[in-house]
Amino acid sequence: MWADDRLHMTSEGHRRVALAAFTALGFAPADADWAAPLPPPEPVSPAQALRGHLAWGRDHLGPWVLRRLRGRSTGDELTAKHSGLARFRGSDS
């Protein structure tokens, strides 16, 4: 259910959480497969697991730590979609 960054959910993870919330609110989803257990993951050797942890650290944790140490954010280089405030145009305007 987790993306490669181990922080965000995959599309399937989001789908299952949304359907769980939908069910908790008293609704019955048309598709009940969301509650079915996932198949077990393929077994990995300790060496494969270590390589995966090291790759995650290199690709995700390391850059995050460096940004924090430098006082930067992932959004620092992004510009706004709109240069100023814009009036909302709803469906009735």
9 forms beta bridges with 2
Predicted confidence (pLDDT) per residue in 53-71, tens digit: 999 999 999 999 999 999 9
Q: Is the pTM of the predicted complex or chain greater than 0.75? A: no
84 and 29 in contact (C-beta within 8 Å)?
Answer: no
Domain-by-domain residue ranges, the chain?
A: 1-36+52-72
Instruction: Kindly tell me if the per-residue pLDDT of 45 is higher than 90.
Output: yes
Residue 18's H or E segment, with its range, is helix 11-24
Burial class of residue 87 (count of CB atoms within 10 Å of its CB; 0-12, 13-18, 19+): exposed
Tell me what pLDDT residue 90 has: 76
